[in-house]
A and B are shown apart, each in its own frame.
Chain A
Amino acid sequence: MIEVDSITFAYPSSSPIFVDFSWQVGRGETWTVLGPSGCGKSTLLYLLAGLQFPQKGQVRIDGKALTRPRPQTGLILQDYGLLPWATVRQNAELGLKIRGFYGPDGTHAPTQVDWDNSVLPWLERLGIQAVADHYPSQISGGQRQRTAIARTLVLHPDLLLMDEPFSSLDAPTREGLQTLILQLQAENQLTLVMVTHSIEEAAFMGKKILLLTQPPIHQASIIENSQAGSEGYRKSEAYLALCETLRTKLEQR
């Protein structure tokens, strides 16, 4: 589904982050991207989202080179993604409103007009209908991320990109949301790419883990983790062993 084809990317007047870097993601796969701060994880996500563009090479999704954000891609960031002046419901409706603003033009919104206009089922599914009329500043961090998830899923994306979505949350909330995201991913046949700096999160969520090192990054280092997300996996030997492996690999580099 996603083809990162020999890209080279650098921010203006700094050294390159990716050099001739290639990587593929298949439809319906669950990936986590793990690496230390400043390794280019978020940059990779912005490249996939069509918010940044490589100087060389191409990022293609379903065979089409990205030139701008794609209507079927959902992006969820760590924080600050919600409009502070809009309620939970209004925030969840934002994507629909933007689509209504442009109409089904194929650029800002998909051409088919059959998208579902009600956010209510999503607010219920995510357990935030009780705070639907609250503002982001009045709800918990977990509820804010649930709102961001609702806002994205109401648009029926096929690709979900997440940039450290749970890193500012406490452990029980974080684990609850990790499980929820995996459920939603399965229910909606989403392709998921989640960037994280947490070894535990990468190991629990990602059936495939892309390990990034200090830039410049030339090669994709991939770790298979087929049991990820299954019930009880968090307590299994395999999970603990994987965490240890990941830790060692991160320390080596």
Chain B
Amino acid sequence: MKRRLDLLLTLLALIGLWQLAAWLVHRSILPDPITVLVAFWRELRDDLPMHFAASLWRVLASTALAIFTAAPAGLVLGQSKRLNRLFSPLIYLLYPIPKVVFVPLVLLFLGLGDAPKILIIYLILFFQILVLVRDQAAALRPELLLSVRSLGAGRRALFRFVYLPASLPAILTALRQSVGTAVAVLYVAELYATQRGLGYYIYINGSTFFDYPAMYVGILAMSLLGVGLYSGVDYLEKRLCKWM
């Protein structure tokens, strides 16, 4: 409860600062919060929900795809020293490459539509989840594995009762760390070859229509998307990882 109050107060303080800045700057490129909120309400009954849904879909689809491919791969690498030795140089080289630089390339290969956007976010999340799940699985204490094996667990039961639950916090940590990057990259990806999504919406309102309140509405919506995803991960962590 106290945390919620703190968040609310901080939000109000941020809006206050925004208002102050709007007064000081006093130009159309920085509208005050009230103007933007009014525009938000107006846009809500127009195209905004469609753009929001398009962006949300792209993030969720890539997240789901990343979890369902990276988590099993991470578990396998974390369990097998041999495979990990084989793949870790590759991961070491690929992991730090900023995936956003592949946006033009992916667009060239995959063209229009959702696929290139989903792929780019997927690549970012994939490596994050892969590395964290792998490290988590590899860090399981041998004592824990021995004692579970002594209860009769073979490979399958170890996977079900130890590796799988152990990977859950790693997946959530990976999501928590990469959700911000994912939304940022989504913005960049949506600047190209699409007419749907918040990135497009922000760009078109800011640089073509010069509708600055609407541009801020897009920024606000994108921020809400980021905060929403972040608190979603937070909620899941509290629900699913009660022991932490």
User: Hey, which bits of chain A sit against chain B, CB under 8 A?
Assistant: 46, 49, 51, 69, 71, 73-86, 94-95, 97-99, 101-102, 107-109, 135-137, 148, 151-152, 155, 161
Complex CA distance for A102 and B161, rounded to whole angstroms: 12
A124–B242 Cα gap in the complex (Å)? 24
Query: Is the beta-carbon distance between A85 and B243 smaller than 8 angstroms?
Result: yes
Contact indicator A108/B152 (Cβ below 8 Å): yes
Q: Are A102 and B150 in contact (CB under 8 A)?
A: no
Interface size on B, residues (CB 8 A): 24
Q: Are A94 and B151 in contact (CB under 8 A)?
A: yes
18 A-B pairs with CB atoms under 8 Å apart are A49-B146, A51-B150, A69-B150, A69-B152, A74-B150, A77-B143, A77-B146, A79-B143, A80-B147, A82-B144, A83-B161, A85-B168, A86-B165, A94-B161, A98-B153, A101-B156, A101-B161, A135-B242
Tell me which residues across on chain B come within 8 A of A82, comparing CB atoms.
144
Known: A85-B165, A137-B243. A98 touches B144 (CB 8 A): no
Q: Which residues of B contact A (CB under 8 A)?
A: 141, 143-144, 146-154, 156-157, 160-162, 165-166, 168-169, 241-243
A-B contact count (CB 8 A): 79
Hey, which chain A residues are within 8 Å of B150, CB to CB? 49, 51, 69, 73-75, 161
Query: What's the minimum C-beta distance from B153 to chain A, rounded to whole angstroms?
Result: 5
Q: Are A84 and B149 in contact (CB under 8 A)?
A: no
Given A97-B161, A98-B161, A101-B160, verify A81-B147 contact (CB < 8 Å). yes
Give the distance to chain A from B144, nearest Cβ to Cβ, in Å: 5
Q: Are B143 and A69 in contact (CB under 8 A)?
A: no
Q: How far is the CA of A243 from the CA of B151 in the complex (A)?
A: 34
CB distance from A159 to the nearest CB of B (A): 11
Cα A75 to Cα B165 with chains together (Å):
22
CB pair B152–A81 under 8 Å, yes or no, is no
A51 vs B145: C-alpha distance when bound (angstroms) = 11
What are the 3 A-B residue pairs with the smallest beta carbon separation, nearest first? A75-B150, A81-B147, A135-B243
Contact of A95 among B143, B144, B151, B154 (CB under 8 A): B151
Residues of A within 8 A of B162 (CB): 83
CA distance A107 to B157 in the complex (A): 13
Tell me if B152 and A102 are in contact (CB < 8 A).
yes
Residues of B within 8 A of A107 (CB): 154
Q: With A85-B166, A101-B160, A108-B157 as given contacts, are A78 and B151 in contact (CB-CB < 8 Å)?
A: no
For A74, what are the chain B residues with a Cβ–Cβ distance below 8 Å?
A: 150
Which of B148, B150, B162 lies at the interface centre, i.e. has the most chain A CB atoms within 10 A of its CB? Answer: B150
Chain B residues within an 8 Å CB radius of A108: 152-154, 157
CB-nearest residue of chain A relative to B146?
Answer: A51
